[in-house]
Structure formats: structure tokens, C-alpha cells
């Protein structure tokens, strides 16, 4: 894997600095990189797989994790999903979530699945022996309107991402050396505040649980926010982009009882979309195909993570409908205000979901037997998996790292 | 008034033809103009004030109105508000609402206020002697999901504007010669289907009622749709643009019990905004002023009818907040998806409101003594009023045509 030249190409593509009104966005050009300090008294060591310095390959590392505090849960990891955004973070392509460049050494992973092996004395939500999952959120202020309503992902002071984030001493929920960044789920053990730990429901396949706390909740939370999880409600829902997020969206919306229309630039995706539960299919580049659903969809979840026109989706919305963008798009997007106006349409965007939503989608997926298609890999294959994800993000299959097997290597 | 040269200048400014995804917008360059046919058997004559041919001045006309059908209400007009959009239609600047260019002769007016002088035999909502108002909607299909829910303004087949619109023979709700366009409220008598007639509440000042069924409902309906009319609910609401719409929005939101922040490009508007009930004031071009309200507003109603940046407003929205654009903007608008994403923000737009909302806002304004500042004029001053409105649309004062006095001229 020729990491350096590859990452530089991608960074040039993604780099933007645009002044938008009073706000300025800038993706970082230089990553933060500093050697790990020695183990502190309030820490322990955990084997992990990460990238030590910017541009290098993945390798086995030993990182320091905080000792178990009163409200902490120590998890022995069994699996960790490999999300496409792990690629962005590991290769310093995006600053999203951290506010700064990637922090090396970096241990990715925000689809943690494991078993509780120790709990702090004040922990009440889980017990030793429970199978649990942790998603993208490791910390939040726990004291704002968003946190109070279970939307920790919109914490007014900013949530702390599971990895590639500085600790938040102001929140004082994460122990250990406060100068050292957080490391993610490609690791043997992790310690997480119980608030951000979800219970894996009885019967769920652990190897397939990881993507649910990332892709699953990313689709579930907007379905919930825009009314699609209300009991008995029947909606017409469009899902744009038939990759990992899109196929999860099709499965969830379909299991909720809605009519689901898959929308793709490519007619090749129809069979896949229908096999996941889509009732209709639209080729968004074909005006005749778009016209068939014109004015019919109440909600469209758009998973495209690149600049694109949303006008075909607006055409398909019914009066008072909403298109929600779930993929990160750096460049400015365009819309016609007049098109919104004459049917009271909305353009929105959301990112993952809070802890209550994460627990809900775990329970719902378990009940309805909804899983992503996964490929289980060991840590020695991380470099090639990252190469493949960079080349092709449109596949519906999610890779999952088998921690137990990786430790045997 | 040099109508011809003035209107041509404005038309060149507003004319756009932009391909947006699969949709194409085009403002018309050529107005429809044809002489009025002779009176049909199912019509009667009404004095009106309008523009007979494109480019001409206002003058007194006699137009044909449909005879009173079973569900029709005949109104003897007392006042009609002069909306800024009347200027656009009368001068063929916009196609909005009609789908084609302005239709000459044109009689503007969609803020009708008068007294019922005759009703069809099936009419049950109003009776002879009632004071009534009619807003922007003269007809709709009455048979779609939007009409069923009282959102006739979002009728799936398109609502029929009170003037500058062809009749809709398919709906078969408007009598008279089906080949002749509808004429608006600058007239002695009008005949309207009872569905689109609102009752003026007891005690309301008739001369001030007109703007409520246009500017009033334009602000009320989005307040209602986005939750601000729910009893007991307290929100932080921004109002952008301190003109006719904006001041009405400030008064309504304030009377509903919300904290209202007026937002303007100009610090000069602060005194006016506060005098109408605003609790706070932001100069949108001053980052420090914007910063004071950063993340605080649940809903922003943006009345700017020209291309502008919405980024300062997004900055001021709280998590899950919405900015609603209420002014027509022809050119494409821009937004940052990332800014929407990390606080689940929405950009929306709405246009006027349905009949139930119109009745609600009339009743609410009467109860809370909310009126636009109005200047009463007679028809001989229409040309100069139009000149003034073209020169300055930022004034909060609304002109109202006194029909009774105009008839004496």
C-alpha cells in the first residue's frame, strides 16, 4: 500500500477553504503527531491496531487506556466495525468531529462490540458479563438541552468522538492522562462512561452488531426525528445512494412499514436495492424515472458523501416533505428557494444519533433481524481493506475487525 | 410615471433562465394581452382599477365578474390592500402563481375586505351583511391531501391565485366566461367560492384587515407549521428583514409569548423593530452582533426577497432549528451541508397559508390588536404608490385602497 501518495491525492481533492457568510471552514493540511507518553498511574495498557505517524501503514501498537472510574465500564473487545469514515480520519482527510487534524498515533474504530469485564462502583446500566456496544460518542457535556433530550450528538459544547479527539477535561468524564487523545475500538480493551454504552439485545449476532451503532443509527435517528418511527404511521420514503448507509436505510424504513423508493444514479443498483426491501427504484439521472415519483415522497434520506444536485430529490418530495443529507459534503450546495417555497419543502442534514436512538436501533434490528452484510477480517488485512474502501465506497458490505482472532496473530 | 422604461429595467434585472437538475425556471418576457370579451349571460359588470395593456398606467376599467353560483359569495368591496407582489404582477415581473406571464388587462389585489351582499343557495359559512376577507387563493382542487388538510396554498394541482390567473375549468368552482382570466380586489364587487372567504372578527378595523390575509398569514402559517402557535410553547424566534412582513412577524411572535430577535443588515432598523415588540436585535453583517445570538434561535423567518447569504442565520440557529425563507429569490441559493449536519439544521420555505390559517390569524390579530401600519389611498394615487413601492420595499407601512372613496372620484 503506497499510503503517502494516495493520501496526498485525496487530501488535495477534499481540501477547501471557503468563506461562507461569517463562518470559515478549513480542512487541515498538517496532522498532529506526537509520541505516546509513558503509562500513567491511572492508566493501563491495551493492544491496539493503528497508524503511528501520518502516512505510515497500520501496525500493532500498545496504547494507554484510562483505569476504570466510578461510572466507567471496561469492555473486552470482540469485534469492531471498519467504517468508511475511519479511512478519512486515519489518513487525515477530514477534520470533522475533532475540530483539528488527525491526531497520531491514531487508533480508529467507533463501532465497538464486546463484553463487560469490569464496572465502576456507581455503574447501574450494565453489569459484568453483558454484551455491549459503543458508537461514535465517547463523551459529551451531559448538561445541555441536547444532552438532556438524548441528542448527545448535538451537545451544545460538542460531543467527544470515540477516537481522534482530545479528552474533554471540562467534562471530567474520561480518566487517564488528560493530555493524550482518545483511541478507538481497534483494541483489546476500552473503558467508556456508562452513559455511552448500549446493551446488545439477547440473540444479536455480535459480529454484525458494530455497523448498527454507526450506519444503523445514522439512518434511524433521522427516520425518528422526521416522524417515521411513530407507531402506525405510513410514509413514502426515498433512500438515495445504495451503499452501506443506503441499504441499512432501506431495511429499516421497510421494516417500519413504509413504502421505500431506492434512488441511485445507476440503474445497476436496482436489483441490490430491491433485494434489501425497496418497493420502487428511481434512476436520478433519468428525468422520466424521476417523474414517476414526482411529488410522492414524504422524506428522502440522501447518503451521497460528495457534491451533487439535490434538485431531482426536491422534485420527488411531496408537499411539506424533507430531504435529509447524511453524507459529508465539503463544497457549498445549491438549491432553488422557489422550488422549496411552492411546496413548503425542507433541506436538512443530520449526523449519527444519540445514545437512546442507538439503543432503539439495536433493539429494532434484533427484533427484525436487520444486519448489514459484513465481511470479517483480522488486523493484518487492515491496510488492504483501507485501500479497497478508498477505491470504492459504494459497496453495501461493511468490514468488521475480529479482535479475538487478531490478537492471536 | 414613465411605466414603460421603468418596467423594462426591472424585467431585465429579474429575468433568469436557469437549469437546476431536471427542472427549468423561466420568467416570461412577453405578457399575455387581449381585449375583454363582451359580457356573458352568467356575468355582471364591476368597476375596477387596473392596467389595460402592458406598460400602461392604472385606470378605471369595467370588468366582468361571474354571477353568484350556489356556493358563491358576492362581496361589496370596502378596502383592498396593495401588496408589493401586486407591483410584480401588474408590471409582468414574475410568473409565480400563474405559470405564465401577466395577463392583461390586469386588476391586482389579493387583500380583499368587504361586506357580503348576496350568497348562493348552498352557502353556509357566511351570510348577507357579514364583513369578510379574501386572500391570495381564489380556487383549488379541494380534493388532494393538501386541500383536505387546509393547506390549499399547497394544492397538489396548484391553487388559483385571486388575480392574474386563468380560471380552472377542471375545478369548476368559478363561474362566468371560462376563457377570461380572474380579476383581483381593486374592484367594486367580487364573487368568490365560500371556501376561500374568511369572516372578519367583530371589532376589527376593516381598513386594516387586508394586510392580515396576506402578510399576516404569510408569517402565521410558518409559525404554526414549525410549532410556535402551540399553547404554552416558548421559543426563541428570529425575524429577518424589518419591512411589511418582518414587522408583522415580530408582532405575531411576540404576542404568542416568544422571545423575538429582529435581524437586519442595517442597524438603523433597531428602533423600529423594538417598537413592534422585538426583544433583541442583530445586525447580520456584523459578526460580533451575530455571535451574541449564536446557537440560540429555534426558528428564523427570513423575509428577504432577494439573493443573500443565509449563513449568518444558520449560525444563530439552535440545534434542530429551522430557517424559513418567505421572500421570493430567483437565483440559486447556497448553503454548507456541514453546517446543517452538525446541528441538524433545516432550510425551508413557505408561501402564504391556507384558509384555516387565514381565519386563525384574523382572529388572533383581532384579539391582540395587531395590525400593519397602513396608509389609506384612493385609486387616483395607484400610479404614484406603485412608483414608491418599486423604489422602496423595505418600509413597514402597507398601502390600502379605499374602494368606496375611489368610486366617488
Beta pairing, strands A259-264 & A236-240: parallel
**pLDDT band (50, 70, 90) for residue B125:** very high
pLDDT for residue B17: 27
B13 touches chain A (CB under 8 A): no
Mean of pLDDT values over B336-356 = 97
Prediction ipTM score: 0.91
Kind and range of the H or E run holding B49: strand B43-51
pLDDT digits (tens, 9 = 90+) for B82-109: 998 999 889 887 654 444 578 899 999 9
Asked if B42 and B175 count as a contact pair (C-beta separation under 8 A), the reply is yes
Stretch among A260-274, B96-110, B150-164 having the lowest mean pLDDT: B96-110
Stretch among A189-193, B27-31, B154-158, B366-370 having the lowest mean pLDDT: B27-31
pLDDT for residue B18: 29
Rounded distance between C-alpha atoms, residue A161 and residue A86, angstroms:
12
Burial class (CB in 10 A: 0-12, 13-18, 19+), B302: buried
Output the nine-digit C-alpha cell for A139: 463523551
- Give me chain A's average pLDDT, please: 90
Task: For residue A348, list chain B residues with Cβ-Cβ distance below 8 A.
Answer: 340, 344-347
**pLDDT band (50, 70, 90) for residue A8:** very low
**pLDDT band (50, 70, 90) for residue B393:** low
pLDDT digits (tens, 9 = 90+) for B16-55: 222 332 233 334 454 677 888 899 999 999 999 999 998 8
A344 touches chain B (CB under 8 A): yes
Q: Is the pLDDT of residue A97 over 70?
A: no
**pLDDT band (50, 70, 90) for residue A22:** very low
pLDDT digits (tens, 9 = 90+) for B292-305: 999 999 999 999 98
A310 touches chain B (CB under 8 A): yes
B20 CA: distance to closest CA in chain A (Å):
6
pLDDT for residue A213: 98
Output the nine-digit C-alpha cell for A93: 482527510
Q: Is the pLDDT of residue A96 over 60?
A: no
pLDDT for residue A394: 64
Task: For residue A341, list chain B residues with Cβ-Cβ distance below 8 A.
Answer: 325, 328, 349-351
Mean of pLDDT values over A4-25 = 28
Q: Which of B209, B210, B317 is nearest to A156 (CA)?
A: B317
* CATH no., domain B216-349: 3.40.50.720
Output the nine-digit C-alpha cell for B193: 367560492
Mean of pLDDT values over B329-343 = 93
Task: For residue A340, list chain B residues with Cβ-Cβ distance below 8 A.
Answer: 325, 347-349
Mean of pLDDT values over A48-68 = 95
Homologous superfamily, domain A3-213+373-407:
Medium-chain alcohol dehydrogenases, catalytic domain (3.90.180.10)
pLDDT for residue B10: 24
**Which string of DSSP letters, residue by residue, matches B167-209?**
--TTT----S-TTSPP--SSBSEEEEEGGG-EEPPTT--HHHH
B349 touches chain A (CB under 8 A): yes
pLDDT for residue B328: 87
* CATH no., domain A215-349: 3.40.50.720
pLDDT digits (tens, 9 = 90+) for A318-332: 999 999 999 988 889
- What number of C-beta contacts closer than 8 Å exist between A and B? 157
CA angle B205/B210/B212 to nearest 5° reads 90
pLDDT digits (tens, 9 = 90+) for A303-316: 998 999 999 999 99
**CB spacing of A349 vs B347 below 8 angstroms:** no
Kind and range of the H or E run holding B220: helix B215-225
Q: Is the pLDDT of residue B291 over 70?
A: yes
Q: Is the pLDDT of residue B314 over 70?
A: yes
Beta pairing, strands A160-161 & A236-240: unpaired
Mean of pLDDT values over A206-227 = 98
Comparing CB atoms, the residue among B312, B338, B340 nearest residue A22 is: B312
The label of the residue with cell 465481511 reads: A375
**pLDDT band (50, 70, 90) for residue A288:** very high
Beta pairing, strands A280-283 & A259-264: parallel
Q: Residue ranges of the domains in chain B?
A: 3-214+372-407, 216-349
Q: Which residue of A has its CA nearest to B305?
A: A337
Q: Is the pLDDT of residue A378 over 90?
A: yes
Q: Which residue of A has its CA nearest to B291?
A: A22
**pLDDT band (50, 70, 90) for residue A98:** very low
pLDDT for residue A100: 54
pLDDT digits (tens, 9 = 90+) for A119-174: 999 999 999 999 999 999 999 999 999 999 999 999 999 999 999 999 988 899 99
Asked if A72 and A43 count as a contact pair (C-beta separation under 8 A), the reply is no
Task: For residue A339, list chain B residues with Cβ-Cβ distance below 8 A.
Answer: 20, 23
Task: For residue A321, list chain B residues with Cβ-Cβ distance below 8 A.
Answer: none
Q: Is the pLDDT of residue B344 over 60?
A: yes
Q: Is the pLDDT of residue B5 over 50?
A: no
Task: For residue A350, list chain B residues with Cβ-Cβ distance below 8 A.
Answer: 341, 344
Homologous superfamily, domain B3-214+372-407:
Medium-chain alcohol dehydrogenases, catalytic domain (3.90.180.10)
**CB spacing of B22 vs A312 below 8 angstroms:** yes
The label of the residue with cell 425556471 reads: B25
Q: Which of A52, A66, A152 is nearest to A108 (CA)?
A: A52
Task: For residue A330, list chain B residues with Cβ-Cβ distance below 8 A.
Answer: 338
CB hemisphere CA count around B221 (13 angstroms)? 30
The strand pairing partners of B404, in sequence order, are none
Task: For residue B328, list chain A residues with Cβ-Cβ distance below 8 A.
Answer: 337-338, 341
**CB spacing of A23 vs B329 below 8 angstroms:** no
**CB spacing of A337 vs B333 below 8 angstroms:** yes
B112 CA: distance to closest CA in chain A (Å):
22
B339 touches chain A (CB under 8 A): yes
pLDDT for residue B100: 54
B345 touches chain A (CB under 8 A): yes
**Which string of DSSP letters, residue by residue, matches A181-222?**
PP--SSBSEEEEEGGG-EEPPTT--HHHHGGGGTHHHHHHHH
Answer whether the bond into residue A105 is a cis peptide, omega within 30°.
yes
Amino acid at each position: 500500500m503506497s499510503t503517502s501518495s494516495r493520501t496526498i491525492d485525496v487530501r488535495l481533492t477534499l481540501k477547501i477553504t471557503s468563506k461562507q457568510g461569517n463562518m470559515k471552514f478549513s480542512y487541515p493540511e498538517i496532522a498532529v503527531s506526537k509520541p505516546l507518553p509513558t503509562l500513567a498511574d491511572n492508566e493501563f495498557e491495551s493492544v491496539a491496531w493503528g497508524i503511528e505517524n501520518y502516512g505510515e501503514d497500520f501496525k500493532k501498537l500498545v496504547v494507554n487506556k484510562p483505569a476504570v472510574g466510578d461510572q466507567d465500564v471496561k469492555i473486552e473487545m470482540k469485534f469492531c466495525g471498519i467504517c468508511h469514515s475511519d479511512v478519512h480520519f486515519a489518513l487525515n482527510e477530514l477534520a470533522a468531529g475533532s475540530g483539528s487534524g488527525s491526531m497520531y498515533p491514531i487508533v480508529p474504530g467507533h463501532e465497538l462490540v464486546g463484553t463487560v469485564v469490569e464496572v465502576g462502583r456507581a455503574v447501574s446500566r450494565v453489569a459484568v458479563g453483558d454484551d455491549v456496544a459503543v458508537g461514535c460518542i465517547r463523551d459529551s457535556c451531559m448538561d445541555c438541552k441536547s444532552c438532556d433530550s438524548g441528542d448527545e450528538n448535538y451537545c451544545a459544547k460538542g460531543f467527544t468522538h470515540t477516537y481522534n479527539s482530545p479528552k474533554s477535561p471540562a467534562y471530567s468524564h474520561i480518566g487517564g492522562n488528560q493530555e493524550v487523545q482518545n483511541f478507538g475500538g481497534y483494541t483489546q480493551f476500552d473503558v467508556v462512561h456508562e452513559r455511552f454504552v448500549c446493551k446488545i439485545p439477547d440473540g444479536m449476532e455480535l459480529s454484525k452488531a458494530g455497523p448498527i451503532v454507526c450506519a444503523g443509527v445514522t439512518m434511524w435517528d433521522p427516520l425518528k426525528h422526521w416522524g417515521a418511527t411513530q407507531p402506525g404511521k405510513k410514509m413514502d420514503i426515498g433512500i438515495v445512494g445504495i451503499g452501506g448507509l443506503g441499504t441499512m436505510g432501506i431495511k429499516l424504513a421497510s421494516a417500519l412499514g413504509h413504502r421505500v423508493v431506492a434512488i441511485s444514479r445507476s440503474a445497476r443498483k436496482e436489483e441490490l436495492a430491491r433485494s434489501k426491501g425497496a418497493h420502487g427504484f428511481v434512476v436520478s439521472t433519468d428525468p422520466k424515472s424521476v417523474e414517476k415519483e414526482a411529488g410522492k415522497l414524504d422524506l428522502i434520506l440522501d447518503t451521497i458523501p460528495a457534491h451533487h444536485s439535490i434538485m431531482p430529490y426536491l422534485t420527488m418530495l411531496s408537499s411539506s416533505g424533507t430531504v435529509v443529507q447524511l453524507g459529508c459534503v465539503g463544497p457549498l450546495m445549491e438549491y432553488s428557494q422557489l422550488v422549496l417555497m411552492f411546496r413548503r419543502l425542507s433541506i436538512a442534514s443530520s449526523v449519527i444519533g444519540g445514545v437512546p436512538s442507538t439503543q432503539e436501533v439495536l433493539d429494532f434490528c434484533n427484533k427484525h433481524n436487520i444486519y448489514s452484510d459484513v465481511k470479517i477480517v483480522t488486523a493484518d488485512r487492515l491496510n488492504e481493506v483501507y485501500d479497497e474502501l478508498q477505491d470504492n465506497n459504494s459497496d453495501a458490505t461493511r468490514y468488521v475487525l475480529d479482535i479475538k482472532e487478531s490478537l492471536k496473530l
